[in-house]
Each structure stands twice: as structure tokens, then as C-alpha cells.
A and B are shown apart, each in its own frame.
Chain A
């Protein structure tokens, strides 16, 4: 029983939760505040991770240069995706981003790209300087209910700090005239244009900003495992991020953070619970084999989202009064 609880807490606070929260904050800028349908947030994470990994391993650059390359790649990707599609209706960006996510993954794992990305075998050991920066002594830390290794704890500290910084940034931006224009663009582009706002420019800024946050999250995900494989960055990740944003409450500063905490809590709790039940023989092996547990957890996540849509469509932090408005 304690094991299930400590697994759940570890999942909720662990590096993945922080990293997904950061990527979801980026997506929230796109989807929640600007109304951009970006179905390829994972592509920004991919270029962020490989900017670092390939920069360090393939080109022998310093760690920080790798991070900057990842961010620069995200800016370029946002411009490539945004410049042709943001003048058009929202659906076109959705199509372009979902395609870009998959195409980029295939390009990075292809034989042509192998000299740079090492194809499906991925890249490893590029984050040593990151771990060398850790001020923590090299032993496990007991946080009462669960323990973390010094390396994990260092990634967690950095990731959650970045999440806090990103939240502060979003708060400042959204509560400024800049954010007001962004929300106006979400409500009605034509109205914003009729008031002299360069809607296209604002949408492009939003896409770049959210994409850069995605790239930093992607780099952290690679740092966390000291490895980068293209198949880590599959479309599923984007849809987890949407689940997180909607669960927490879109267009709320802390929505993605709360969403990520709960998402990973449930994921870790269910996984640990089902495994324990399966091991103890409560659920017979012929009903639920250990290999099927992961899939069942995802099915529960889907069910949870369904219930959320029925009973609280605005998410946990969302304003249901705002949601009920007839916005057409």
C-alpha cells in the first residue's frame, strides 16, 4: 500500500511531470490564449532535444551552445510552420503541425540523417556538464514518503524552477496589453484587425514563444535520461499535453502545472496499483498480463478525460461562467 502511494507521489513530483508541465505551458500559450491549434508541440520538443544532443555529441560543441541551438531550431520551426499558415484559417496550422511532428520524427530517424542524429540508435551522454553543475551531494534523498537519487532531484529542481519562471513570464505577458491582444485574436481575428492590430504578427510571436518553451522541455527530457531517441517524441506526447492543458484549465496561468501534477499522479498511481494487484494475484494473469498494464492505464486516462468533458469541460481551474458564454 505504501509502495503504491510513494510511487504515485514520485510520479507526481518527478522530472517528467515538470517537463510535461513546461511543454504544456507552451501549448497553453498557443491553444489557451491565442486559439492556435498546434497539434505538433512534440516537434518543438524534438528539435530542442536534438539541438542539444547533436550539438554536443556530433559537433562537439559545449553544453550551453547545444541548448541555444535547440532553441534556435524551435524558432526556425515556428517560423516555417507559421509564416505560410497563420494568414489562413486555424485548421491549416493544425494540419501543418500534426504533419510536421511526424515528418520530423521520421527525418531524424532516417538513414540520411544518421551522420548527425545517429538514426534510430539515438544519441547518448551529452549532459555531463549539466549534472556536474549539481550542488547536491551524491547520495539518495529521503523525502519522507519517497526517495529520489541526487541526479533525479537535480533535474527536478531545475525543471520545476523553469516551470515557475515560465509561469511568471506567462502571468506578466497575459496581464499586459500584449496578452489582451492575444486573447482578442483568440476571440475574433477580424475584430482585432479592425482595431489596428497586426494579428499575423501576434500569432507568430505566440507560436515562437510557446515553441521555445516546448524546445526547452524537450531538451530537459533528453537531459533526464542522458539520451535522445526520435521515437520518444511521437504524436502521443502532444495529446498528453492537450490532456494536461484541458485537465488543468486552458487559458489559466497555473492550469498546465496543476494538470501535469494530476495527470502524472493518476498515471503513476494506476500503474503501481494495477501492478501490485496483478502481482498479488487479485487480478488473474489471464485477465490482465503485466504487458497490458501500460495500455490499460492509458485507457483509464481516456475515460477520465471523457468524464472531465462531461462534468467539467472548462478544466479544474477553468472559469465555467466563461465557458458557458455563447462565443460565436
Chain B
């Protein structure tokens, strides 16, 4: 993830950025996959895996991997909206859990970047396990751009 904005002359394309997910690192360890995107939103998929289940029994994905899924989906929604890869840092991320995911179910994260300022990006989204109208969680987050002096932008 060392690309400069120039690496995407046509803008950041999340469906062509699978190297960000397949790379060695936390996203690769989780096995996150590209799912879909629009102008200001991205969907990534977290496949079910036995060693990612939580402690409540029932072969259900733990909440930790879902936070990671939503954090990465948030970042990709910001780069998609900005049409450039710019280094960002999560400032604040809130996750409200509506219900556990179904046993052995993959979880899809959907995040839109609804507002960008010079130094902050605001995101909101939800996670579901098959039906978008019956989410397992909702999220809201704020990210800051890093690597630049905000006063110079």
C-alpha cells in the first residue's frame, strides 16, 4: 500500500486494487475479497473461516474480524470517492451489532463515504450475511488524511 495517487491515472478503482487485499498483512490474513462498488461506496466480503469464530458458540464469525472488514471497506470507499489513493488513518470507528451473523456465513461490508473535507472523511455503512435489508451491524467512522500538513492543503 505504498502507491502514490499517480498510480491511478483513471482514479482509484477498488475492483482493480485486489493487491491491497491479497497482500501479506491483516487484510490478507482475513481473506477479504472485493465484492462491488459505486461512485462513493464499496463492498468487501469476509469469508467464513473456522479460526475466525467468536466465543459465543455456534460457529459464528467473531465481532473482531467484522470491525476489520468495516475498517478496510471504509478506507476503500474513501479512496474510491477521492478517486485517488491517499494515506489515511482511522480516527474513530463505531460498530453497533444488531445480531450475530448466521453460522458458517460470509459477511459483506457496505460502506459509503458521505462527506469529505480537506482533512477528514466521514463514512457510514452496514454489514450483512446475505440480505442487505437484514444487517448484522451498522458502522459510523471518521478518518483523517495523513502524510501531509493539513495547513498546506
- Asked if A and B bind, the verdict is no
